[in-house]
Structure 1
Amino acid sequence: MDGVEDHFRLERLRVDRQLEEITAQGPDPLRLASLFGIDPKTAARYINTATDLLVSGAEDHAARSLRTQASQPLQAGIDHSGSSS
């Protein structure tokens, strides 16, 4: 592996760790700044970016779920258990 790949791997690990901390402990820029040794304004920017990513990811997931549900035929009122009622 070369230096560029190492840099991107470390950067990805750092970002993943910060995102994990934000989701686990909440969006507290002072805590994040203290934990990672970064400026509180930088921590606030990271939190805003993480929040945007989480919201857009949730919206994408919801849209995919709706598309999947819409593509499946309605099965209302059909008993698939094999028993008759």
Structure 2
Amino acid sequence: GKHNLWDINSDSEYVEEASAEAATTAATQTRLSRRRQTLKVLQEFGGYLFTGGAATIVDVLVFSILIQSGIWYVFALGISYFLGLSTNFWLSR
């Protein structure tokens, strides 16, 4: 009742102005920020693929070598799995 809502932010000292250049600059900064985030995600995903791929290759190669050398497949599987897991751990650090 005591306040006139139409007088809010109508002071001559308080004026907000926006220019087209400021809006364009803000939009450009937003686009650049999104591109950086996208590149970061792609870089992390590439690292994930490299780490997982290397660990899988180690696992399969060790398993194949152990099977061909005559080790029982259950032991070969356990050893190759452990080495693949260790490879994944060390590359992820």
Normalised by the length of structure 2, the TM-score is: 0.38
Please say which structure displays the higher CA radius of gyration: 2
Q: Which has the higher contact order (CA 8 A, sep 6+)?
A: 2
Normalised by the length of structure 1, the TM-score is: 0.41
